[in-house]
């Protein structure tokens, strides 16, 4: 939204719920590639909203008994160097 501030006016709670649902669907479909013990899956968004980031991680870990890797967690805020925001989190198959 930093590059397109008018999106803030068009963005609704319904849009957010659709995005979150789609992200979860993609994440769940990606789990088929996480076969071996110790296997890793990296979840990345270009958002700073907790609903898209840490809340998604919490839900997927609870539902599929994955281990969050706090060592491999990254959050970049837009005020640092004028970059876009990014969130990355590594999930590990126990």
Is 46 marked active-site? yes
Q: CB of 88 within 8 A of CB of 74?
A: yes
- Compute the Cα dihedral for 58, 60, 61, 62 and give only its sign: positive
Cα 48 to Cα 52: distance, rounded to the nearest angstrom: 8
Q: Of 1, 16, 22, 46, which one is the catalytic site residue? A: 46
Catalytic residues: 46
């Amino acid at each position: 939204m930093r590059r397109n501030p008018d999106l803030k006016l068009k963005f609704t709670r319904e849009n957010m719920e659709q995005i979150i649902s789609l992200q979860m669907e993609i994440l769940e479909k990606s789990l088929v590639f996480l076969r071996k013990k110790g296997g890793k899956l990296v979840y990345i968004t270009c958002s700073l909203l907790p609903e898209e980031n840490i809340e998604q991680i919490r839900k997927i870990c609870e539902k599929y008994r994955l281990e969050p890797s706090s060592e491999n967690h990254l959050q970049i805020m837009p005020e640092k160097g004028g970059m876009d925001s990014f969130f990355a989190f590594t999930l590990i198959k126990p």
